[in-house]
Amino acid sequence: MLNPKISAYLGFCIKSGNLTMGFNAVETIKKGVYLLVVCHTASENSRKQASKLQQKFGCPLIVCEGDTLENIVKKPLCKFAAVRDKKLAQALLAVTQEGFRAETGGNN
């Protein structure tokens, strides 16, 4: 069961314009990424790319396991997203016990 706060926080990110979805869009960001989210349905190659972006931004990476990321953000085929608001990223990390798995790394 996915924690409803996760959906709410990601919804706040979308409404405030602080959620960038898709690998290509995230790669164009220069700085200001505080959390990366990858779906458990993403391919192995996509997960490797997510790890490279995690190193680039120096932020935590979490894997969405409770539900698909596309269902949570209501965007078809969405497998990857970047949170660009520090407080919302911290709030998401605080409630990731259910439905998400934190990967290593990150210094934000």
Please check whether residue 107 lies inside any domain of the structure.
no
**Residue 53 belongs to domain with CATH number:** 3.30.1330.30
Conformation bin of residue 58: beta by default, left when phi > 0, alpha when psi is -120 to 50: left
φ and ψ at residue 71, rounded to 5 degrees: -70, -35
Task: Give tens-digit pLDDT for 89-102.
Answer: 998 888 776 555 66
Task: Give tens-digit pLDDT for 33-63.
Answer: 999 999 888 989 989 999 999 999 999 998 8
Total domains in the fold of the chain: 1
Question: Residues 6 or more apart from 11 whose CB is under 8 A from it?
Answer: none
Q: What is the pTM of this model?
A: 0.85
Give strand pairing partners of 64.
Answer: 39, 100
Please check whether residue 108 lies inside any domain of the structure.
no
C-alpha–C-alpha distance, residues 44 and 98, integer Å = 23
What range defines the domain where residue 61 resides? 4-102
What does the pLDDT average to over 13-19? 93
